[in-house]
């Protein structure tokens, strides 16, 4: 057998193992699912945060750290890395089938059976911190004048200080998410 053939066989054996393992996946019933995304899934992590999900994402974690944090905090591990997911220590996970971010998002929302729109704009997109209401007066010199004039409500991140507002793309984000919800 050639090397590439051996590798292909090993990869498909891993995939088979992962599909079997993930067949036992059950979404949490009551409380909202929380996630940890591996380093390759930055765009997915960002979309999930836009939707309001708590998603741990950092390029500083080793595989071992990512797995142990996920287990400790009850986070669903998101990954496309079959070598990572076959490991015995990996418990609750979603193996993302597609390389496309919106397909991945759809798969996640389907697997956790998310049928309603989550809480949009409640998480900092950079550091995952829960946003807090920011009084309009307090942020006047921290956002563009046009934004200040046209927006009525603002939120800020207690950790990094970034200011967020609904903005003009809110409608299209909502439409995108609505189309991806579990039916």
List residues binding Zn ion (CB under 5 A): 124, 126-127, 129, 157, 159-160
* Nearest distance in Å: CB 130, Zn ion: 10
* Nearest distance in Å: CB 127, Zn ion: 4
Judged by CB, which is closer to Zn ion: 86, or 125? 125
The answer to whether residues 83 and 64 touch, using CB atoms and an 8 Å cutoff, is no
Judged by CB, which is closer to Zn ion: 161, or 179? 161
* Nearest distance in Å: CB 163, Zn ion: 10
* Nearest distance in Å: CB 6, Zn ion: 45
The answer to whether residues 60 and 127 touch, using CB atoms and an 8 Å cutoff, is no
* Nearest distance in Å: CB 161, Zn ion: 7
Judged by CB, which is closer to Zn ion: 90, or 157? 157
Judged by CB, which is closer to Zn ion: 103, or 129? 129
Judged by CB, which is closer to Zn ion: 49, or 106? 49
């Amino acid at each position: 057998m050639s090397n590439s053939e051996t590798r292909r066989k090993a990869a498909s054996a891993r995939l088979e193992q992962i599909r079997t393992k993930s067949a036992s996946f059950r979404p949490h019933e009551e409380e909202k699912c929380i996630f940890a995304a591996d380093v390759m899934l930055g765009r997915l992590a960002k979309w999930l945060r836009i939707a309001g999900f708590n998603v741990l994402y950092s390029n500083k974690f080793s595989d071992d750290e990512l797995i142990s944090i996920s287990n400790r905090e009850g986070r669903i591990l998101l990954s496309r890395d079959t070598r990572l997911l076959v490991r015995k220590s990996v418990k609750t996970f979603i193996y993302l089938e597609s390389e496309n971010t919106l397909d991945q998002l759809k798969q996640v929302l389907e697997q956790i059976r998310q049928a309603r729109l989550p809480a949009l704009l409640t998480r900092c997109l950079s550091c995952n911190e829960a946003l807090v209401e920011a009084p309009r007066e307090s942020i006047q010199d921290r956002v563009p004048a046009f934004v200040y004039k046209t927006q009525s409500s603002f939120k800020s991140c207690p950790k990094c200080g970034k200011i967020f507002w609904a903005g003009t793309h809110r409608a299209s984000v909502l439409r995108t998410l609505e189309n991806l919800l579990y039916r």
